Amino acid sequence: MTTYVIKGQNWEKEVEIDESIFETNYSASVEAATRLIENNKDFDKSHTIGVFLEAYKKSDGDLGDSHCFLKTSEVLRNASLYDSADFVEKLYK
């Protein structure tokens, strides 16, 4: 298992995934962010989600080669949160 760090505008959380089942780091990053959104019930109104999320392997650090910027609406759609994805897209048009 590999620990990924996912960052929003004012929060940072970790999630573990089996990156060996993904062909690219980007795919693994999208899955890590998706699982975090799906499995975290501790988000509240103080947690802000912007147009992008950041994702990277914890072992690589913030500036490592695994660092990705993910479109928040893409992650929300991957988590089957279609209305939320549409809402985010409308906010940032």
Predicted local confidence at residue 49, as pLDDT:
74
Predicted local confidence at residue 57, as pLDDT:
94
Whether 16 contacts 39, CB under 8 Å: no
pLDDT band at 29, cuts 50/70/90? very high
Predicted local confidence at residue 41, as pLDDT:
61
Calculate Rg over the CA atoms of the chain. 13
Instruction: Determine the Cα–Cα distance for residues 13 and 26; give it in Å rounded to an integer.
Output: 18
Quote the mean pLDDT of the chain: 87
Predicted local confidence at residue 43, as pLDDT:
64
State the first-to-last Cα distance of the chain, in angstroms, to the nearest integer. 37
pLDDT band at 68, cuts 50/70/90? very high
Sketch the domain layout of the chain as residue ranges: 2-91
Question: pTM of the predicted model, to two decimals?
Answer: 0.85
CA quadruple 34, 35, 36, 42: dihedral, nearest 10: 120
